[in-house]
Amino acid sequence: MFWKRPYTLDELNASSANTLVAHLGIVYIRVAEGMLEAEMPVDSRTIQPFGLLHGGASAVLAETLGSMAGYMMTNEGQTVVGMELNATHHRAVSSGKVRGVCQPLHLGRQHQSWEVALFDERGQRTCSCRLSTAVLG
């Protein structure tokens, strides 16, 4: 098994209650071997004043996925915190949903690096992100 802390989709989604994750409508949709996926609506909670998906909302989706995946790769008594997030926006999204796909780039004892790719409903990449986390504990 890949994940050190295997969670079901129901458990992952329940962990988001009363957080920014739930407020933005982010829902985990897939846990696979070495991959975590979630969707986020492009609606009044996530757009900027010009009607396009806000880059900050994309960053929240990426950090949500990378942080949860990072946590799922820790042992009992450990946790992760984000150290750096970068995002390159490739194309605008004005409606529907975006899907984030998170995969590990590096899983060290003290640091992790995660790649999070965001896609629109047509499967076109809208944003490429990288999250670095520190493992604490």
In tens, the pLDDT along 70-104 reads 999 999 999 999 999 999 999 999 999 999 999 99
Annotated domain spans of the chain: 9-136
Rounded CA separation 130/117 (Å): 9
* Structure-token match 């994309």, residue found: 58
In tens, the pLDDT along 102-137 reads 999 999 999 999 999 999 999 999 999 999 999 999
Please indicate whether residue 63 is annotated as part of the active site.
Answer: yes
- pLDDT of 103 reads 98
CATH code of domain 9-136: 3.10.129.10
User: Which residues touch 34 (CB under 8 Å, ≥6 apart)?
Assistant: 2, 103, 104
- pLDDT of 82 reads 96
Write down the catalytic residue from 11, 37, 39, 63. Answer: 63
Compute the average pLDDT of residues 8-17: 98
> What average pLDDT does the chain have?
97
